[in-house]
Amino acid sequence: MGKGKLIDEIFGEKCEGNYIQPTFITDYPIEMSPLSKRHRNNPELTERFELMVNGKELANAYSELNDPIDQLERFQEQLKLSEKGDDEAMHIDMDFVRSLEYGMPPTSGMGIGMDRLVMLMTGQQAIQEVLFFPQMKPIISE
């Protein structure tokens, strides 16, 4: 288990559910954010944040990495983590690296999970309760 995965596991187990008021979690370890730019002041961190509300992640955002050399190195690190059993590690996407080599401009974005927003608004604790896809709901035997 890499350092980033360990931090993520501890954070998920001990901290995540305790953020009731809207809280921004910032500056994630580089291993957890392979598509994010390095932090301006600390090269071990990335420019990323998550918005936590009522114990759940509501939004995720980061400055997108546009350096092809750094991106390929991060993909290679992700591959090593995958070989060690990390099921969330990314694969090497050479088409993406090639696109960066052609000159992707600096970008950023923010994703707000509509499913999580509906969970917050309806007071649901399980994401399956707000998904519209029947195959995502747990099978209840009668």
Q: What is the block-wise mean pLDDT of the chain (142 residues), using blocks of 10 residues? A: 81 90 92 90 92 88 90 90 81 89 77 81 83 65 65
Residues paired with 46 in a beta bridge = 38
What's the rounded Cα separation, in Å, for the pair 35 and 49?
Answer: 13
Domain spans of the chain? 3-136
Identify the CATH assignment for 3-136 out of 2.60.40.10, 3.30.930.10, 3.90.1150.10, 3.20.20.140.
Answer: 3.30.930.10
Would you state the pLDDT for residue 24? 95
- Torsional sign, CA 66, 69, 73, 76: positive
pLDDT at 133: 65
What pLDDT is recorded for position 131? Answer: 78
Close Cβ partners of 84 (under 8 Å, ≥ 6 residues apart): 1, 2
